[in-house]
Amino acid sequence: MDQVNKLLAAQFKLTGPGITPVGDGTNQLESIISTVIGALTLIGVIFFVVQIILAGYGFMSAQGDKGKIETARKRLTDSILGITIVVVAFGAGALIANLVGLGNVFDLNKIFTLIQPK
């Protein structure tokens, strides 16, 4: 009976309602993860650059007030530390991805083409 079922299944292609799988799910997951990580890295860099600019504005508007100068200095130090951590983490992630054999998982061109309006 099992051979008959296999023979019938090979002869008649049965189709029905439903979603047929498209592409390779692993590559799609890798693409989604790399796009999310790349976008978050870009957002992090932009955030810390804005914080550095605001710290500079804090220095300029302090007018000699020791408390405001110290607040601006702390903000500048934290911003530089934050941008350094983001860049080092991005580089370490890219290095590990290349060593594992994933290639360039942080493709910035792909990220920019995905976020452009159509």
Measured CA angle at 20 (ends 18, 21), to 5 deg:
140
How long is the chain?
118
CA distance 79 to 50: 9
Domain layout of the chain by residue ranges: 26-112
Is 91 a residue whose pLDDT tops 90? Answer: no
The first and second tokens of residue 79, run together, are 């911003």
Is 63 a residue whose pLDDT tops 70? Answer: yes
The pLDDT of residue 95 is 84
The answer to whether the beta carbons of residues 86 and 45 sit under 8 Å apart is yes
pTM of the model: 0.64
Q: Per residue in 6-51, pLDDT tens?
A: 776 666 665 656 666 566 655 677 777 777 887 888 899 999 999 9
Strands (E), the chain: none
The pLDDT of residue 34 is 75
